[in-house]
A and B are shown apart, each in its own frame.
Chain A
């Protein structure tokens, strides 16, 4: 079964990569602008801000994009293997990406970051499901009230 709210699968990798890159670039740019403005000495505030944005915003954007792209790729492969799309896919893919990205720093840290990624994605998916349930319970079909005269027995 396919999830109609998401993009179709091979394109989703590019879309997720782009959206996470944009998120990282804009968020990292604003964060580093504040940081560079505060930490640079008086008289060089503006130049310090621009250099901080120029050097640090692309790095955070790249980190975000790697996370998003790997996550979408693992999600797509998992959904292709299992033949269905549900929350377990994204939880497992979060754990796998977390493990893959911390692979070079040893097995214990890789396992820890994998667990962290899985828990993070599980929390996100759980909150999403809770919101979805709360929204959809408003439109639940109500049983029709039968007038008392019409009741048999």
Chain B
């Protein structure tokens, strides 16, 4: 019994397993070099200031070797869920940092009757803990609504995925919902403001991209 088993195992080559599948090297199409794979770049150190010279050189070599496409966002957002989490977190962190710094400076520079270091620090800390969470909470809620409506619109308008009108629409809906309890007029106004901000952001990035390409073309000509 055992010898027979061994024989069957020996005779089972890859060809027999594959059966009638014909694999010729010539029929396999090579991957298109220009449109093949986009490597998503995820850094250990997101800030350029923290990198040493060796790390920068190594990275450049790697980019040349792998032909990394550099059209990535600053955060590794690949799916819609990741976009929601990263957008929400980034909005909350910027809100809490900006609000905290604003409150600290406001409390620190306020004129006082008695110049006392301890009192000054206490006032600055109190104001920063007052403004920071307020700004962070509202920014985070806006970011959560914006990203969720953006993915929703992306799912609904399947014909034109990643269209920029999606972002503008999501901005309008989230801005209107954020101020929906204050009345219709205020809601539409805040929605319009938020949508305008999103549209301005898109226009700005487009203009910067175009000018960069123009500068590149000019440099290549000369």
Partner of A58, one of B76, B90, B140: B140
Chain B 79-113 residues near chain A, CB threshold 8 A: 82, 84-90, 92-93, 96
Contacts of B92 in A (CB 8 A): 17-18, 21, 62, 65, 69
Chain B 55-97 residues near chain A, CB threshold 8 A: 75-76, 82, 84-90, 92-93, 96
Select from chain B the residue with minimum beta-carbon distance to A12. B89
A59 to B137, Cβ gap below 8 A?
yes
Bound complex: CA A19 to CA B83 (Å):
11
Interface size on B, residues (CB 8 A): 29
Contacts of B136 in A (CB 8 A): 62, 65
How far does the Cβ of B79 sit from chain A's closest Cβ, in whole Å? 12
Determine whether B48 belongs to the interface, using a CB cutoff of 8 Å to chain A. Answer: no
Chain A 38-71 residues near chain B, CB threshold 8 A: 50-51, 54, 57-59, 61-62, 65-66, 69
Bound complex: CA A25 to CA B137 (Å):
10
Bound complex: CA A150 to CA B3 (Å):
10
B90 to A8, Cβ gap below 8 A?
no
B89 to A19, Cβ gap below 8 A?
yes
Most B C-beta atoms less than 10 A away, residue of A17, A61, A149: A17
How far does the Cβ of A146 sit from chain B's closest Cβ, in whole Å? 9
Contacts of A17 in B (CB 8 A): 88-89, 92-93
Type the 1/0 row for B129-173, where 1 means its CB is closer than 8 Å to any CB of A: 000010011101101100000000000000000000000000000
How far does the Cβ of A1 sit from chain B's closest Cβ, in whole Å? 15
Type the 1/0 row for A99-132, where 1 means its CB is closer than 8 Å to any CB of B: 0000000000000000000000000000000000
Determine whether A11 belongs to the interface, using a CB cutoff of 8 Å to chain B. Answer: yes
Given contacts A10-B45, A58-B138, contact A15 B144 (CB under 8 A): no
Select from chain A the residue with minimum beta-carbon distance to B125. A104
Partner of A15, one of B85, B96, B137, B141: B85
Partner of A147, one of B1, B45, B137: B1
Bound complex: CA A68 to CA B142 (Å):
19
B144 to A25, Cβ gap below 8 A?
yes
B44 to A8, Cβ gap below 8 A?
yes
How far does the Cβ of A134 sit from chain B's closest Cβ, in whole Å? 27
B42 to A11, Cβ gap below 8 A?
yes
How far does the Cβ of B139 sit from chain A's closest Cβ, in whole Å? 10
Determine whether B46 belongs to the interface, using a CB cutoff of 8 Å to chain A. Answer: yes
Contacts of A22 in B (CB 8 A): 84-85, 88, 144
Given contacts A14-B75, A62-B136, contact A19 B85 (CB under 8 A): yes
Contacts of A25 in B (CB 8 A): 140-141, 144
B-side interface residues toward A, CB under 8 Å? 1-2, 42-46, 75-76, 82, 84-90, 92-93, 96, 133, 136-138, 140-141, 143-144, 181
Apart from the given pairs A14-B89, A19-B89, A59-B137, 7 other A-B contacts in the complex at a CB distance below 8 Å: A11-B46, A15-B82, A22-B85, A58-B140, A61-B137, A65-B136, A150-B2
